[in-house]
């Protein structure tokens, strides 16, 4: 991905930090996991949905913006590569897009910020917990395929927060 | 007071470009993520909306609490980290300088242009922020409001005081609590956070 230079894309103007011109904030696992737990404990399924939707909308708009900036990134393959690289460079972990089609996909994640953070703070849980990553995957694929936000639904069938070997996500049309 | 914020900003920017093989950024003793401010603002303000008018105060308290607990654990990790030892400790002359170090790290993290306006040891901390991402994000999506909206920075201001003047870690969280009397989301020219000793400490 020669045309996308991460060292150049992550920059700051005064107190504002940005990736490819989009404002970001650095937060640690304590905050990300505290927010997740607060929403899950307080709102239950609605809180889970809120985590998912916030991630979906943010990654959708972020990648739309990015692909508009980098017109040379045209193929689905190169867009998926860019997405996986951004995920990793943002400290979110490793993500492998597999069997990706417009109608659905299977995605594996052997490591993630949210898993590491959750296990460090709360230990094993009984239900899949990568709501952020599910939403991020949905928004990313919707932007890659130029589909409307909310087109896909993403389920997590295995989760390292439950001590599965890796996190597995299945994407299908809603 | 000899804290050079630019050195801290530089260390964070360089450190945040280094990640280990699992795509995790271990920096200043914590795992860092770089996420759009839109994500955090959506979460906070949609959460408030979902809770509705009747649970508005509860939503606000929960968001502040999540941030204060985070700030308490995060900055405890930060001040015990190798990076703090190498970069910030040499600049610290007094106990109170730690607060300036904390604020400089928060600036480096992109939370806003934090400026420590007043610090009365053990009693009061006043932080002014001209451009908090929370207030900016609120005004981008909503009309001006009647209540302050920078929940994260409010919790973090309390956590700074907890770490310096509260009980020893980990028992000092919520020894202090902060208010935000001025907020850009309300039309004030800047946001201001005032932390004081808590009148009634929340059990952790």
Rounded CA-CA distance B7/B10 in Å is 5
The dihedral sign for the CA sequence A46, B32, A113, A2: positive
The reply to whether residue A91 touches residue B62, judged by beta carbons under 8 angstroms, is no
Show the tokens assigned to B99. Answer: 């607060």
Domains and CATH numbers, chain B: 5-197 (3.30.1380.20)
Name which of A88, A3, A21 is nearest B16 in CA terms: A88
The reply to whether residue A111 touches residue B46, judged by beta carbons under 8 angstroms, is no
Tens digit of each residue's pLDDT (9 = 90 or more) over A16-38: 999 999 999 999 999 999 999 99
pLDDT, average across residues B109-131? 97
From chain B, the residues in CB contact with A110 under 8 A are 22
The reply to whether residue A24 touches residue B50, judged by beta carbons under 8 angstroms, is no
Name which of B113, B127, B104 is nearest B3 in CA terms: B104
Give the CB-side neighbour count of residue B129, counting CA atoms within 13 A: 37
Sequence length of chain B is 204
The reply to whether residue B31 touches residue A94, judged by beta carbons under 8 angstroms, is no
Tens digit of each residue's pLDDT (9 = 90 or more) over A48-78: 999 999 999 999 999 999 999 999 999 999 9
Q: Which candidate in B33, B136, B190 is best for mutational testing of the A interface (most A CBs within 10 A)? A: B33
HEC readout, B75-123 = HHHHHCCHHHHHHHHHHCCCCCHHHHHHHHHHHHCCCCCEEEEEEECCC
The reply to whether CATH 3.30.1380.20 applies to domain A25-173 is yes
Rounded CA-CA distance A17/A145 in Å is 28
pLDDT at A54: 98
Residue A8 contacts B, CB cutoff 8 Å: no
pLDDT, average across residues B112-133? 98
pLDDT at A101: 95
Whether the pLDDT of residue A120 is over 60: the answer is: yes
- Label residues A157-173 b or e (16+ Cβ within 10 Å = b): ebbbbeeeeebbbbbee
| Neighbour count for residue A125 (Cβ, 10 Å) | 14
pLDDT, average across residues B84-113? 94
The reply to whether residue B70 touches residue A39, judged by beta carbons under 8 angstroms, is no
pLDDT at B203: 60
From chain A, the residues in CB contact with B77 under 8 A are 28, 30
Q: How far is A114 from chain B (nearest CA, A)?
A: 9
Residue A49 contacts B, CB cutoff 8 Å: no
From chain A, the residues in CB contact with B39 under 8 A are 54-55, 58
Rounded CA-CA distance B89/A125 in Å is 38
> At B18, is the pLDDT very low, low, confident or very high (cuts 50, 70, 90)?
confident
From chain A, the residues in CB contact with B107 under 8 A are 15
Q: How far is B108 from chain A (nearest CA, A)?
A: 7
Give the CB-side neighbour count of residue A90, counting CA atoms within 13 A: 27
From chain A, the residues in CB contact with B19 under 8 A are 88-89, 91
pLDDT at B20: 78
Q: Which candidate in A26, A93, A135 is best for mutational testing of the B interface (most B CBs within 10 A)? A: A26
User: Contact at 8 Å (CB) between B28 and B78?
Assistant: yes
Rounded CA-CA distance A5/A69 in Å is 13
- For B44, which residue in chain A has the nearest alpha carbon? A35
Show the tokens assigned to B171. Answer: 């028992």
From chain B, the residues in CB contact with A14 under 8 A are 113
pLDDT at B201: 74
pLDDT at B15: 82
Contacts of residue A19, defined as CB under 8 A and 6 or more positions apart, other chains included, come to: A9, A10, A86, A90, B34
Q: Which candidate in A21, A30, A131, A166 is best for mutational testing of the B interface (most B CBs within 10 A)? A: A30
Name which of B25, B160, B51, B64 is nearest B105 in CA terms: B160
Tens digit of each residue's pLDDT (9 = 90 or more) over B178-199: 999 999 999 999 999 999 999 8
pTM of the model: 0.95
Rounded CA-CA distance A99/A111 in Å is 19
Task: Identify the burial level of B128 via C-beta atoms within 10 angstroms of its C-beta, where 0-12 means exposed, 13-18 middle and 19 or more buried.
Answer: middle
DSSP helix/strand/coil, B194: strand
Whether the pLDDT of residue A2 is over 80: the answer is: no
SS3 content of chain B, % helix, strand, coil (to 5): 50, 20, 30
Residue B139 contacts A, CB cutoff 8 Å: no
Rounded CA-CA distance A168/A96 in Å is 10
Look at strands B25-27 and A93-101 and give their pairing: unpaired
Tens digit of each residue's pLDDT (9 = 90 or more) over B40-90: 999 999 999 999 999 999 999 999 999 999 999 999 999 999 889 999 999
For residue B23, give the DSSP letter: S
Q: Give B 147-176 residues with CB within 8 A of chain A.
A: 152
Whether the pLDDT of residue A87 is over 60: the answer is: yes
pLDDT at B44: 97
> At A4, is the pLDDT very low, low, confident or very high (cuts 50, 70, 90)?
confident
> At B202, is the pLDDT very low, low, confident or very high (cuts 50, 70, 90)?
low
Mean pLDDT, all residues of chain A: 95
pLDDT, average across residues B171-177? 97
């Amino acid at each position: 991905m020669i045309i996308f230079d991460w060292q150049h894309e992550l920059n700051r103007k005064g107190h504002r930090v940005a990736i490819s011109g989009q404002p970001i904030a650095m937060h640690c696992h304590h905050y990300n996991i505290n927010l997740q737990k607060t929403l899950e404990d307080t709102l239950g399924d609605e809180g889970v949905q809120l985590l998912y939707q916030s991630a979906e909308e943010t990654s959708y708009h972020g990648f739309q913006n990015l692909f508009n900036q980098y017109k040379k990134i045209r193929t689905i393959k190169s867009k998926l590569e860019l997405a996986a690289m951004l995920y990793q460079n943002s400290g979110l972990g490793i993500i492998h897009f597999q069997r990706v089609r417009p109608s659905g996909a299977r995605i594996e994640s052997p490591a993630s910020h949210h898993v590491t953070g959750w296990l460090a703070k709360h230990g094993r849980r009984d239900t899949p917990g990568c709501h952020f990553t599910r939403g991020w995957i949905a928004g990313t694929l919707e932007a890659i395929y130029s589909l409307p936000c909310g087109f896909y639904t993403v389920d997590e069938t295995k989760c390292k927060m439950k001590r599965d070997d890796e996190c597995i996500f299945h994407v299908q049309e809603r | 007071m000899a804290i050079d914020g630019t050195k801290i900003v530089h260390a964070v920017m360089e450190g945040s470009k280094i990640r280990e093989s699992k795509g995790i950024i271990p920096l200043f003793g914590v795992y860092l993520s770089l996420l759009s401010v839109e994500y955090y603002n959506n979460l906070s303000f949609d959460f408030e909306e979902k809770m509705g008018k009747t649970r508005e105060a509860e939503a606000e308290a929960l968001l502040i609490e999540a941030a204060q607990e985070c700030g308490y654990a995060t900055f405890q990790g930060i001040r015990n980290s190798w990076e703090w030892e190498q970069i910030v400790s040499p600049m610290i002359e007094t106990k109170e300088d730690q607060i300036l170090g904390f604020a400089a790290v928060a600036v480096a993290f992109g939370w806003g242009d934090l400026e420590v306006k007043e610090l009365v040891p053990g009693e009061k901390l006043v932080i002014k922020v001209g451009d908090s991402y929370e207030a900016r994000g609120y005004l981008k999506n909503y009309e001006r409001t009647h209540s302050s909206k920078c929940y994260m920075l409010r919790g973090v201001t309390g956590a700074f005081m907890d770490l310096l003047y509260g009980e020893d870690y980990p028992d000092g969280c919520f020894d202090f609590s902060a208010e935000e009397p001025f907020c850009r989301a309300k039309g004030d020219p800047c946001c201001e956070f005032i932390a004081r000793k808590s009148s009634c400490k929340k059990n952790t």
